[in-house]
Amino acid sequence: MKEDDFIVTPWEVRGEIDYDRLVQKFGTSYITDDLLKRIPDYRENIFLRRKIFYSHRDLNYILDRFEKGQEFYLYTGRGPSSGTHLGHMIPWIFTKTLQDAFGVPLIFQMTDDEKFLFKEGLDLSDTAQATLDNMMDIIALGFDPRKTKIIIDTRDIQYLYRIALRVAKHVTFSTAKAVFGFSNSNNIGSIFYTSIQSAPAFLLSEMKGRDFPCLIPCGIDQDPHFRVTRDVAPVLGYPKPALIHGKMLPGLSGGKMSSSGQAALYTTDSNREIERKVMNAFTGGRATVEEQRKLGANPDICPVYYHYEFLLEESDERLKKIYEDCRSGAMLCGECKQMLISKAIPFMERHKEKREKARDKIEDFRFTPEAF
């Protein structure tokens, strides 16, 4: 790892991610200010105005359609795992803001097959439980069930399989190897899997029998899947999916600004656990109070700061103050952590309430061919 000191694949995010380098490497485009302005209510959208979602493919094409009143939909997904933390929720909350802005349908894919295939020691009963759990967190975010349908791969495979076969026929092992870094020791399910993640991108075109493109909000780590999807789209006669890529919320354990690891705030954490995790978080602070007062700390490498930026501090003004007070040494890490706790706990309490109510709504989100 000379050139890049980080790894970003759909299954592994490691090292200090250079998001500009990823734009180059993956060949995506930055969301320019001109593009940004074409998204309704972008000023109220912290993910857009703070460039947390910062990169795209063909977003302009979707905005052209939107401006002409032409149909499109949103598609995003979740590889269900036990527990949902704030890092998982960022792209979902962002997707909700986009759905509100555009007023379009959303397909949410639960890729339980993927989790099962890629994770050693996991059974389908484990992924089934995680799927149910995660769906409660998704539904709790307030998606409209009339416009939002959730596909669970193993439950709803009948809607995906034929499209997945068409995709798979045009993807060789060589391609999958190059895109995902597979080797001969990968299992044959994991090799096939990307076809299943492609399928929802073509589902409404297939079902409606006309061009019905989608916009996919996702972490930029998922881009490789959709490069494959986009490559086969014209061969299959479907429109290419557009993408809007986000950065990943760093985990609280920090050190390396890696994926949200074990030290993350889960939606099932008690207030005490949230407090403990934040208090134990890695920060951009100095070794001693004296030093920090004198030299200031570094918010750019601080997961506590990113928790404000990505989600917990709505006000840009207040966010700026946090940044500056950190830089100047006016605010110490303890104080900053206390403030984060005072924001995280009510956020989670509200979420937990909505999460409990979501349990009874799950069936309303079931995908059917008549859904949209």
| Site for a copy of itself contains 203 (CB under 8 A) | no
State how far Cα 64 lies from the chain centre: 24
Nearer to a copy of itself, 112 or 309 (CB): 112
Question: Applying CB under 8 A, which part among 133-141, 185-193, 211-219, 327-335 lies near a copy of itself?
Answer: 185-193
Among 2, 24, 68, 158, binds a copy of itself (CB under 8 A): 158
Contacts 24+ apart (CB under 8 A), 21-24: 22/55, 22/220, 23/55
Cβ atoms 4, 21 nearer than 8 A: yes
Quote the least distance from Cβ 180 to a copy of itself, whole Å.
10
Contacts of 265 (CB under 8 A, 6+ apart): 85, 86, 252, 274, 277, 278, 307, 344, 348
CA triplet 132, 257, 297: central angle to 5 degrees?
125
In the window 3-22, what residues touch a copy of itself (CB under 8 A)? none
Instruction: Candidates 22-30, 39-47, 97-105, 161-169: pick the segment binding a copy of itself (CB under 8 A).
Output: 161-169
Q: Which of 17, 106, 107, 171 binds a copy of itself (CB under 8 A)?
A: 171
Please report whether residue 233 would count as binding a copy of itself according to CB under 8 A. Answer: no
List binders of a copy of itself among 104-143 (CB under 8 A). Answer: 113, 116-117, 124
Out of 169, 294, 320, 350, the residue judged to bind a copy of itself by CB under 8 A: 169
Backbone φ and ψ of 144, nearest 5°: -85, 120
- In this structure, are residues 283 and 304 in contact, taking their beta carbons and an 8 Å threshold? yes
Round to whole Å and give the CA distance between 114 and 154.
10
Measured CA to CA in angstroms, residue 271 lies from 65, 82, 303, 308, 314 at distances of 45, 19, 19, 18, 21
| Closest to a copy of itself by CB, 106 or 203 | 203
Task: Give the single-character DSSP code of 85.
Answer: B
Q: Map residues 59-98 to x or -, x wherever contact with a copy of itself holds by CB under 8 A.
A: ----------------------------------------
What 3-state DSSP class applies to 76? strand
Segment interacting with a copy of itself (CB under 8 A) among 64-72, 140-148, 163-171, 243-251: 163-171
Least separation in angstroms between residue 177's CB and a copy of itself is 7
Per CB under 8 A, the segment of 101-109, 187-195, 333-341, 343-351 that binds a copy of itself is 187-195
Query: To which residue do tokens 């060789």 refer?
Result: 172
Q: Is 208 in the site for a copy of itself (CB under 8 A)?
A: no
Query: Diameter of the chain by CA atoms?
Result: 68
Burial 306-343 (b: 16+ CB within 10 A, else e): bbbbbbbbeeeeebeebbebbbebebbbeebbebbbeb
- Candidates 32, 172, 280, 338; binder of a copy of itself (CB under 8 A) is 172
Is 166 a binding residue for a copy of itself by CB under 8 A? The answer is yes
170 binds a copy of itself (CB under 8 A): yes
The CB-of-51 to a copy of itself minimum distance in angstroms stands at: 35
Tokens 């401006």 correspond to what residue?
Answer: 67
Query: Where on the chain is the footprint of a copy of itself (CB under 8 A)?
Result: 113, 116-117, 124, 154-155, 157-158, 161-162, 164-166, 168-174, 176-177, 182-192, 194-195
